[in-house]
Amino acid sequence: MSTATPQVSSKLFGLFCLASYLLSLSYGSTFLLSLLIGSRGGNEHDAGSVISAAMLSTFAAVIVSGHLCDLLGAARSVALFGLLLVAASLGFALTPGFGQWLLFFGLLLGLGWGVFYTLGPIIVASLVTPAQRAKYFALLSGSMMSGIGSGPLLGRAASALGYPVTAAFYLAALASLMGVLLFWRLDGQLKKAAVPSTAVSRISWRAAAQVLSSRAVLPIVMVGLGGCVFGGLSSFQTSYAAARSLDYSLFFLGFMGAAISSRLLIAGFVVKRDPLRASCLLSGLMMGSILMFGFVVDDGLSYVLAAVMLGVGYGLTYSVINGLAANEAPNGTTAQSLLLFSLSYFIGVFGFPLLAGKIIVEQGMATLLYTLLAVAGLNWLITVGRLIWRRLSSTRSLLQA
């Protein structure tokens, strides 16, 4: 009997991506927290504290998501925990001032986003063959990035129409609720389309050790470093733009447009190329964008160009290393590798803003950009090191032949 994964229908995968877009709006709205908390008397460090509260709960989310997947199914688990994203968005909008309640809703956000972000790629991996994973991961991440980028744009649209920034959080809550309902309804269809498997999704110390002792550890480290860059720039883009008299919506328009279009239009070509060379080139592009933010940006056009460079570099690098994390994992540990990949991403994207906010308040935005440049440089050096190691291994093999 053939064990090849059937081609998932375009309609089913399209609905899956739509549901992912709707849920992602809730996380995208958190990039407005700096603006929201600033209007209530707080500063960037306070906003970083709320965002980083989500890091604590994402640890729990990543650990339990595999168990939930085995027990309830991935789509139903996403739907149930998606309700926490609805609650978090409403909580950010309704909570007066700045205090412990905002930290609590940050924890809820981490739980909901953690389960969704972790199980989404696992659903994709169950629907397609290993050769198709990078392409379909790119489509999923493009949909999620669309939602993430739309969150801040809702805030800009609300202010343009004379509404408070809280209107964006209400809309994000409504969109997330629609995403929850879609995931609940799609559960049966996704299970039918998935290839039968006896592998479990839950994480264990043994499986984690297997993954972390394999080549999959390198893309896992890289996604954490990339998450630091993305989280650091996006979470405080309203502050960066205000300091340079720019419109922060230009960043999110440029970044989102580049990330989405590159993932949907170019990713199919890129993932067929050598993944190590591709990740090296794209990581270098991401590093170049930070140099632009630090030394070149002085008007709207250069601002958009820097955001586009980041969107292409970060967006496509993520797709490439996501596929590497799945395909370089030891046999039977693909799901666990993807769980660790998500965990590493969350440490960067939720943990780094706490440090970033502190740097901005105490040292200024320029110091943050230098810090991000160092992080991006380390990310790029990993890809350079992998290419050099592969060349040396190849030469050694030829000499021994």
Structure confidence at residue 88 (pLDDT): 96
Distance of CA 286 to the CA centre of its chain: 15
10-196+203-400 falls under which CATH superfamily? MFS general substrate transporter like domains (1.20.1250.20)
Q: Which tokens belong to 294?
A: 């630090």
Which long-range contacts does 288-294 make (Cβ < 8 Å, 24+ apart)? Answer: 288/313, 289/313, 290/229, 290/233, 290/369, 290/372, 290/373, 290/376, 291/373, 293/233, 293/240, 293/369, 294/366, 294/369, 294/370, 294/373
pLDDT tens for the chain, 401 residues long, are 334 445 678 899 999 999 999 999 998 998 898 888 888 888 888 888 888 888 888 888 878 887 788 788 889 999 999 999 999 999 999 988 777 889 999 999 999 998 998 888 888 888 888 778 777 887 888 889 889 889 889 888 988 899 998 999 999 999 999 999 999 999 888 888 876 654 555 667 888 899 999 999 999 999 999 999 999 998 889 889 999 999 999 999 999 888 888 877 776 677 677 889 999 999 999 999 999 999 999 999 999 999 999 999 998 888 789 888 988 888 888 878 888 898 898 899 888 988 999 999 999 999 999 999 999 999 999 999 999 998 998 888 777 76
CA distance 157 to 171: 12
CA distance 157 to 164: 10
pTM listed for this prediction: 0.80
127 neighbors 193 (Cβ within 8 angstroms):
yes
Distance of CA 243 to the CA centre of its chain: 26
Phi/psi for 173 (5° steps) reads -65, -40
DSSP string, 5-55: PPPPPHHHHHHHHHHHHHHHHHHHGGGGHHHHHHHTT--HHHHHHHHHHHH
Q: How many CB atoms lie within 10 A of CB 287?
A: 23
382 neighbors 91 (Cβ within 8 angstroms):
no
Say how many residues make up the chain.
Answer: 401
35 neighbors 202 (Cβ within 8 angstroms):
no
- Torsion (CA) 278, 280, 283, 285 in degrees, nearest 10: -80
| Structural domain spans, the chain | 10-196+203-400
